[in-house]
Amino acid sequence: MSSIPRKNGKVRKPSDIDARSSKRRPTALAVLLFSILLLWFLGALYVTTNTPSTHSNNIIGGKMMSPPHQQEIQNHPNIIKLRGANKKRKIVTDNTNIIDMRNLSATLPFEDVDGGVWKQGWDIQPDNNAPLTVFVVPHSHCDPGWIKTFDDYFQSQTKAILTTIVKALHKDPSRKFVWAEISYFEWWWREQSSEMQEITLNLLRNKQLEFVTGGWVQPDEANTQLYAMEIQLEEGHDFIRQTLGDEFIPKYAWSIDPFGYSPTMAFLLNKYGFEGMLIQRVHYAVKKELAKRKHLEFMWRQTWDNTGKHDIFTHVMPFFSYDVPHTCGPDPSVCCQFDFARIKNFGACPWRKNPQVITKDNVKERSMLLLDQYRKKAELYRSNVVIAPLGDDFRYKTEEEAESQFQNYQKIMNYVNDNVENVSIQFGTLGDYFDKVQGTFNVPVLKGSFFTYADRKQDYWSGYFTSRAFDKALDRKLERVLYAAESLGLTKEALRESRRALSLFQHHDGVTGTAKDHVVRDYASRIHNAIRQVQASIIDKLNMDSNTEACWQSDAPRGLSQNLCEGEIKVYNPIETSQYCGGKEVHGYSTKTVELPCEIPRPHVTTLIHFDSLTGLMTHPVQEQWMVWKVREGGAYLFLPGHLIPYEKEEVKVELGGYIVTTPQWKRSVVIHEITDEFGAGHAIVIDFIYETDLQNSNEEWLVRFSSSVKNEGIFHTDLNGFNFDTHYFRKDLPIQSQVFPMPTLASIEDDSQRMTVLSEHAQGTASLEDGSIDVWLDRRLSQDDGRGLFQGVTDNVPTRTRLRLVLEHGGYDTNREFGITPLCRRMWDELNHPLEMFGEWKFKSAHEARVHADESSGLALALKSSLARRAAFDEMTDPEKAMTNPLNENYTGDLYGNVRNGMMTCCKHHFTWMIKTVFSMDIFGQQFDAFALFEEDYVVSPTIYESVVSGLTLLKKLSHEKDAFFGIVMEGRVFNNNYATEGWQVKNFSSGPVALSRHMYESLVVNARDFCTYDDYNWDWSIVHLMNKGLLPSRVLYPTIPQTMHVGIDSGIHGGKAARWQLFTALNAKFPGPFHGTKLVGGTKQANLTVTAPFGGW
């Protein structure tokens, strides 16, 4: 094992890191004497230390809400009494057996040794004579958004799952089930009859159905702040309490899918009176080490807690996943045989040993095979009680599936309970397990977090710390306005819908940025609307006039916000301490009229700042570098580094000597902060770096590196959820991706003389890969999937703003204590996370107009400078007769062919874009459209046109092995006759015409939106052909051998006069073909692509 570097040059040996039991057994007398001495020592320690620990600097803080029913825990440092209806069982903690994850992560070899059937473990030899109790816990993991939106999942899967569960449990009182996601349950409950609701209540009373955690979602624990984590927990508990009853509030937590775990969640659960928690996604090497020590169950202790007051009993599932193959025991090929839902659904077992229906002929052999796995699993724990979850993603949807699981397991249970001594197997809940296991052994202690997670080999899940950075920032915007609203006294009830929008996004495929593109857009739409609702509530609460709006706005859910106000505005300060705008002090919890701008990037008279004269990047007091990881692998979840290179800065514009730097895709402004006298002048520097990035280059990860003279010797600190802190030790023997950590709000390095801390207003990944430096990710774009079930990359990047606040301090901290922030850093954290809320009257009609106005180089911006032009611009845009005099064309010399902007032509492509986006964004009672068909107004169509469109799209689905080989189907035919040989579909290359395409192809268009939108002002079809010629879209389409449409406006358009009327007359009098019923591919030639030599089709 490697040693841990210390700042004083000494090394810490593995034996110093955690207390391990000696292999030599002590004598009974020695044990007795030691026990007496230990009890005496603990008694003395209790007298001197059992007071509330003062750790205000070890916790960042943020607003914490008081739980309505928290019970005080007995103050004894070693014994906690659990609440219970009939009895209280004592848990005895073993304070001589402590693992600190910070130290374990610094010394563990992290070897990936093939362990046999348990690939990441070893060959377990069970004790076949030991008593054993097994609880089989049925569950269904239902993500509130991932591959489908929350609404779509509910309508298509989750609603049926909940109904199936209730009916199945109602049949047999021995059956049990646990449910976690209250967001789904609340919706389902609202739709049920009073009879169904009463059945469900009885199941809860009988403890057949048990809520676990009871939050709105199973939240991510890497990117979230404690504030949002608590809101989602409260939303779930409030529903349970107000609708069902306080007695159904859970006391045990279940977190099987979040990608790593934070002690902040343990703290929060303890605060709310929880007695135990279960977690799953822990690094496989850490699981193995804990299993070897029988440390998979422990009291999870806060690093700053010296008494154990905030401990919570924690169970770590030992194997690869939470699905059935990995929950009964170490051999997945055996466990999979007992996933009886696979008999007719979900596919065969990968190990080619499939489930069998349990009969009287095979029940003995099947039962003993399963029991062997249970016994082996029991060897990894200190008790003789085993929990065996029985479920997977979106399971128990049908009655057949549910009965298959319950009936077959019941036969096994009956056999074992009747024929095997000292063994008991039954269906159970998480509460049944914890009630049985707690108090049966002395519980070891663990401190620290479980980041960064790896599930196999060197696949570290450090990419999701940054994926969809824009949406992580949008999440924090909602948190900020909710915080401000609550500080004004607005109630939970008044903010309920907005709180639930925030809660939903805390889901471990929401704020993580690991959902499908359309799901990301759905989340963003909910948050965007919630922000506006809360802002409106704040305006009402402050009694502002009806023309007042929030200044910072965006005109789209995933659009970059802009300040639409100018001049005099009103601001509200949502924190206790004063903040400033343009030199004016705004006292805590007060409003004030101020003048914009509040801050200006400009040189500072007392702070020595240097910039590089060519690049504009800062060189003093820290060195600023823009960096790019060029990668070939990785996706939404995984970061797999390739080559790290400097960002290629082209067309660099340096202003104010470096305070503003602009490139086509990357902009940065610098703002220096005044430090008030209360923090002491001359001891610190505070600098804001405001980045605006527009990452459109595939397989790149953008970051900024701040380098200093700090000698941190590989020791690096980050925050956990804006509340706790974590400490990391750089290891040269581990891959780079393992040393990237979540940065919800903070990263810091220090030595004895100075500390550099970077604060952020939203979550991202961070690392310290070189001494004296901190890397902060800004965005990432990956063109490939990373094999974790999403089946896509991350290519929907949008312009994103990241504000980083760098605090460089000389003194005021203690390197010999647990890491904690200084009062100055805490103040800077508060102001960054809870800035002044701004309100005023908008100067412009829309954020889009404001952005155009800000671009002083555009002709449109010049036109909009005139108030008359602003009023007339959009009104006259669609009038082609006024093209020459339209303000849009003022100071505009025309396109490549000299044509001025013509509203009629421009709107053609814009209308197509608007229509297709609108259709695929629609959600009607939870259903979304799978395809889109476009017909211009001057088409004559066959009576069988709809049938033909459906037939063609169905054929495309059947060609699923060529998913990306076809753009869609085209229905156009210019010559109507009956001279066709075979009724069916043929292949050609797309050029134009009435087209139908799938959602998948629309998403491909979205990925390439920049090319599509900027290539051509007028022609949607030319733009698509352009993408095809670049290889960005498939060019082949299907078309029917019997033409189903005719474009009668070929020459002059249907509104064009005699020629058009003659063509229409000819078409209607021609022998229109009979019904088309072709369903098969009958051939066709692959024509050469239409060549587009220049944009605008030569117009």
Tell me the pLDDT tens digit for each residue of 325-352. 999 999 999 999 999 999 988 888 999 9
Q: What is the mean pLDDT of residues 977-1005?
A: 79
Pair 615, 649: CB distance under 8 Å: yes
Q: Could you tell me the pLDDT band of residue 1056, with boundaries at 50, 70 and 90? A: very low
The rounded distance, in Å, linking the Cα atoms of 364 and 362 is: 6
Positive or negative, the CA dihedral 823, 807, 702, 766 is negative
**Residue 77 reports pLDDT greater than 50:** no
884: helix, coil or strand? Answer: coil
Question: Is the peptide bond between 263 and the residue preceding it cis, with omega within 30 degrees of 0?
Answer: no
**Residue 74 reports pLDDT greater than 50:** no
Determine the pLDDT at residue 898. Answer: 58
The rounded distance, in Å, linking the Cα atoms of 520 and 1008 is: 17
For the ranges 179-193, 383-397, 617-631, 943-957, the lowest mean pLDDT is seen at 943-957
Q: What is the mean pLDDT of residues 542-557?
A: 90
Q: What is the mean pLDDT of residues 986-990?
A: 86
Determine the pLDDT at residue 1072. Answer: 53
Q: What is the mean pLDDT of residues 1007-1030?
A: 82
Determine the pLDDT at residue 1069. Answer: 52
The rounded distance, in Å, linking the Cα atoms of 1082 and 1098 is: 36
Taking the model in full, what pTM does it have?
0.76
| 258 half-sphere exposure, CB direction, 13 A CA radius | 26
Determine the pLDDT at residue 875. Answer: 39
* Mean pLDDT value across the chain: 84
- DSSP H helical segments within 240-362, as ranges? 263-271, 284-292, 332-335
Q: Which of 220, 927, 179, 188 is nearest to 504 (CA)?
A: 220
Pair 256, 387: CB distance under 8 Å: no
- CB neighbours of 663 closer than 8 A, spacing ≥ 6? 649, 650, 651, 652, 653
Determine the pLDDT at residue 845. Answer: 46
The rounded distance, in Å, linking the Cα atoms of 844 and 688 is: 28
**Which residues are annotated as catalytic?**
257
Residue 646 or residue 1054, greater confidence: 646
The rounded distance, in Å, linking the Cα atoms of 1091 and 940 is: 28
